[in-house]
Amino acid sequence: MADETARVRTLIENRMPWAAAAERELWKTRIAALAKNLETTKASARALYDVLEKRDTAAAGREYGVWAAAVEDVMRTIEWSVSEHDKILKKSFALAESRVNSLRMALQGILAVVVLLSMLLLWLSERALRPLARLTKMAREIALRGPRKEDKTNMPVFEVGRRDEVGELAREFHNMATALIEREKTVEQQQVRLQEQHRLLREAENLAAVGRMSAQVAHEVRNPLHSIGLEAELAAERAHELGDIQLKQSMQSVLASVDRLEKIIGNYLRLSRLSAGDKCVFDLGEALENVLAIYASACEAQSVRVDWSRGEAASLAVCADRELVEQALGNLMKNALQSLQDGGTKNPEIRWSMGVFENGRAWIKIEDNGPGVPDGLKDRIFTPFVTSKAQGTGLGLSFVKKVADEHGGSVRLVSAPGGSFEIALPMAMQSVMEGPPNGQNTSC
């Protein structure tokens, strides 16, 4: 008991927070009293033992009472200590349980926060990496099959406000894919244009070969045809002298056919040898005035009214072969007169107009109120030997197109009631337009 009391006193002296300061002092007092009672009990027990050895019954009774009272004090102190110890244990267990519950709740709160943060990080990661997945998929598709036109519209759209590496990568990929698509489109257009140029080159080579052969044939036919015309003319004169009217009419028909054939051959040879070599600066309106002067009698004979107007441009000076341009305008004038005559148009009228396009090209247009070009010939109207007239050669409009092409211009059939054609020619440069001081034409 003394050893246990000493051990308890040592535990009480320990600084661990097992009890409050007041409780600690109370325990010290109780243990000190217990130690004192133990000493008293030991002394009483030794005295009782000595009396019993002497066989002193009266003294033994007195010593026994003292010893029993001491033992009872020790038992009461021990019972109080046990009771207080149980209270302290229960209190410690309750405090520990409360702390464990608080710790559990804190851990649960931390776990919930960690889970929420993990979910937020996953969502942010998925949202941040989603464009990369789409970019990777599209990059693989483009790498496998090449860029297409529809890729530009199917390109994923990313937030413009993103300034991170993913947003920058998305924008750069978008720009790269768009550039590839545009380049692919350009390549396709160049391929189509190149194929068209090859086709036109082959057609030009074929036409050139046919033209050379046809020109040779026309040249070989022209000499005997001229001889036939001379012989027919002599025969017609002889028939007139003999009074053979039937023979004279036959020879006149032969002469008319020969003239028509010579005209066709002449137009074809002129078309095949056409070259805009003698270019000079002249006013397009002056060239038209010359053409109208030539056809003035024909217009008067057919009762055709001719009007012409000029745009607000200060100058319509073009750099071209004046003779060829006037011949082309003459062909258009002749076609219009023939169309009005064949169609039987009432109040026939031809209108000329000219001006300057926004791109700096001069244009001149002819319109008539005749029947116009048949729908079946509109796509082939400038092809050689294509005509809607019974006596036409089909070379007039081909000559007009050749003249326009040789000068870097163009001619087109305008959609309008009646017949309407428009020629566009490049204008002369300002330095050339000023010309020499005497006002003569200047070569360009």
User: Are 355 and 384 within 8 A, CB to CB?
Assistant: no
- More confidently predicted of 34 and 242: 242
Per-residue pLDDT band for 440 (boundaries 50, 70, 90) equals very low
Query: 257-307 pLDDT, tens per residue?
Result: 888 777 767 666 665 665 556 788 999 999 999 999 989 988 998 999 999
pLDDT at 342 over 60: yes
* Residue 366: predicted pLDDT: 93
Separation between Cα atoms, residue 155 and residue 146, nearest integer Å: 14
pLDDT at 434 over 50: no
Give percent of the chain above pLDDT 90.
Answer: 14
Exposed, middle or buried by CB within 10 Å (0-12, 13-18, 19+), for 8?
middle
* Residue 424: predicted pLDDT: 93
Three-state SS at 308: strand
62: left (phi over 0), alpha (psi -120 to 50) or beta: alpha
pLDDT at 17 over 60: no
* Residue 439: predicted pLDDT: 44
> How is 103-126 classified by DSSP, letter by letter?
HHHHHHHHHHHHHHHHHHHHHHHH
Query: 139-163 pLDDT, tens per residue?
Result: 777 667 666 655 555 555 555 445 6
435: left (phi over 0), alpha (psi -120 to 50) or beta: left
User: Are 322 and 287 within 8 A, CB to CB?
Assistant: yes
pLDDT at 442 over 60: no
* Residue 160: predicted pLDDT: 43
Query: 243-252 pLDDT, tens per residue?
Result: 888 888 888 8
pLDDT at 73 over 90: no
* Residue 210: predicted pLDDT: 59
User: Are 223 and 183 within 8 A, CB to CB?
Assistant: no
Separation between Cα atoms, residue 229 and residue 262, nearest integer Å: 9
Separation between Cα atoms, residue 413 and residue 39, nearest integer Å: 142
Separation between Cα atoms, residue 278 and residue 288, nearest integer Å: 19
